[in-house]
Amino acid sequence: MVKIGVLALQGAVSEHMNSIEACGAEALIVKSTDDLTLVDGLILPGGESTAMRRLIDRYDMLTPLIEFAKTEKPMFGTCAGLILLAKEIVGDDSAHIGALNATVERNSFGRQVDSFETQLEVKDIATDFPAVFIRAPHIVEVGSDVEILATHEDKIVMVRQGHLLGCSFHPELTIDYRITAYFTEMVKESLAKKATV
């Protein structure tokens, strides 16, 4: 069975675990470098990116996460997880994992009180995905190797770069599992490719 981990330092962990299991994969909690070695793909959940980074540093996980991204095992960052994945962050001097060739801006859609849900068209996935935005970032610009999968109000909110997937919203906060299923397929394809090498 495909094993997908959820970085479980802070944020919407249990919701992602439920969505992974609903897609027929095994969900694993990732809290250490050793845990990373057990998974075929990794989800970086929504939450608070600054708090997540403090915990990543506390548990010495930044370098292992950077190395994980280089293995080409699929990674999926949602909301704060997108910020962790991005190569550049507006207003910050340095990135975190820095694997996704994109520039991200925090809190692009307002504060917590401005949270909303909208129907999104997501390329190759859905014409009507119920996207939940909570203090969401957006993607300001992307490199030529990054495919834009969804926009909202002319702002980029979901992208894919090879084995990396990132979105501004929270797919795990709905019972619509199509985006998690898409990521699960990315992980299966990655495993199949390695098996033929």
For residues 98 and 65, what is the distance between their CA atoms, to the nearest angstrom? 10
Could you confirm whether 172 is annotated as catalytic? yes
Q: Which residue has the tokens 């990373």?
A: 36
* Terminal-residue alpha carbon distance, the chain: 20
Beta strands in the chain (DSSP E): 3-7, 26-30, 41-44, 75-78, 86-89, 100-105, 116-122, 126-133, 138-142, 147-152, 155-161, 164-167
- Distances in whole angstroms, Cα of residue 33 to Cα of each of 59, 65, 76, 78, 157: 8, 8, 18, 21, 29
For residues 60 and 105, what is the distance between their CA atoms, to the nearest angstrom? 26
Cβ neighbours, 10 Å, residue 157: 26
Could you confirm whether 153 is annotated as catalytic? no
Out of 15, 79, 96, 138, the active site residue is 79
Out of 16, 96, 163, 170, the active site residue is 170
Q: For residue 157, what are its two tokens?
A: 């909110």
SS3 119: strand
Could you confirm whether 170 is annotated as catalytic? yes
Cβ neighbours, 10 Å, residue 94: 7
Q: Which residues are catalytic?
A: 79, 170, 172
